Structure 1
């Protein structure tokens, strides 16, 4: 069945294109000087050397598959640009879409937080509003790239199951993540790191105020997390939506993920957990900002270390859209023996396959013509042009 939320390549610009004189990054190798032919929104041919006829000369730039982003909540920064300042939600989506496209991402799973809490968070329980705004912008033809949904479910929150249930039957839902940010465990085993996070994000909560927040979260976890976790797993299974775990830290977390058929492990915090997850066939996702910055802002395991250990499967831009491309191109320079094609797969083919999008994520005949022209100079990636299903969008 055709997914109505995904661009139909046959409806894209039918103009045939021949992109020449490029370093073409395929899924398994790099053509140092090659060409790609596009027609009806698909790649129809890929060649090595001089093109068969005159085309659009890319001047030796990289030609990569459009990137596939599975976890970014950056849409919230456009909807609430300052604390308590709410933008028109559809206009926020269009602005966000432009930033995502010009970062080289042609398919994005917009990560919407599916819970409500009396807290310092700027966006709280706005998944329904933002999901509707994405549909409005899509239906009006205002979006450049494909937008799908990732429901970020904070399992200790009392209403999270009802809210997830209200959204899960949308045709654009492609991933559900099971998160638990209770102080003292997973990402924030070091409670002081969480205090630093909220002091910065919330504009200066006092320690006394944080004490109240943390006590409330601990109580909510004790009261609701177990039942909500099982209900969300059952909901995802019933709808055949892939599941992601979040911030796995211990081997007990790994065992739980494997037991429940988790497909993707988002941001494991320790080498031990990441290696066990990867060995069990769970795809390990890590933050691109972690790699670009040289380490985790929370003091957890470094993305580069997991790549060097051979257990990094997927990169995510998380909170900085441009970091996805930069990290993919930086990986071969940081990890001996890791080639460019393998690095680019972590931001294209592998994430696409992880959520069932087998028509994209690589440059190959028959695949969608989601392509990006990139100039890489001294560790800086500049996106020159972007095509989504063969249509120039940036």
Structure 2
């Protein structure tokens, strides 16, 4: 099998939609020889900040001399971003080999219970990390936690970044319901570290930890003023990133008996960690400076606007906004119009994209005098902001991925892998169940 054939096969798996449950990934892992039983994990869940916390954790462990696997989603441009060892993407050859190796196992599943794209890729990652003899794997959930395919592992620590409203169709309509799904990654006796602030969500996490005998570490605002954060500057800007860094440092310390890490490695790891698509500053030729940020829900957009005020005080940039149709468009727009000098609404490269015309209407309702316009594409919007000093591309990580591809001059190539992020087939009902 060639790499292009493997990617086409993975595209075909999107038809099986997004399903919740552990039966398929457990069975696939068993067919693969249970690689998860020979690996050590730090499992990261939460609404926002998961990727950044994973980046901090990965860099700390690498600074300490460990061989570190990193599993995250979605990818921005290339599929290989999802599976990395020491921040090196999995090779095309290994992707092709692993996809081919899984084919006989996949044929053992009945058609109406076929594994999804995410389930297949999760077990591929486990196989690869075992082959690569990783000392530790930083393991990000896809959605939720309790019934997420990544939840077949028993980690050294469970991390819950925070709880906000997102994916309510699947995770629940209250913070307590969402927290219950996220807290589903907790395992008996395994430490849990969280920076969750919302009382009703934190109550659920506390109760779950107590019932499972999990040592619980809850970080408050004082964590960002503790050493070494009191003396270092992060590459990732914003007050929220300092909390993400504090969460990573606390997690490393919580499992230090199993994975020893010195304070110098923690400090160097925090100071050197980077993560694309999170307040990433780039320039498009001779045009404006661009800030790329995948703020895809109300909580993330609030954080982006606060960081803009912190990093670019007094500036009202042009916002190039593309959002998924199932998001809280009114809530996102209400935050955007408070910071924007103008808004250009664009489609996201996904079947689930909100119509730019609908987004224009929502933004105009929130700020009738603000200049708001629809564009047929991100490229068109970028052309229209050439006279601006600063433009912000935001609303979806998929849109950020498209921007990065344009900046790299790769858009329109024969190998478009961004579409792998979007399922196109049947979608399972909500993961929330009576308790």
TM range (shorter): 0.3 to 0.5
Q: Give the structure with the larger strand fraction.
A: 1
Q: Give the structure with the larger helix fraction.
A: 2
TM-score (ref. length: structure 1): 0.34
TM-score (ref. length: structure 2): 0.32
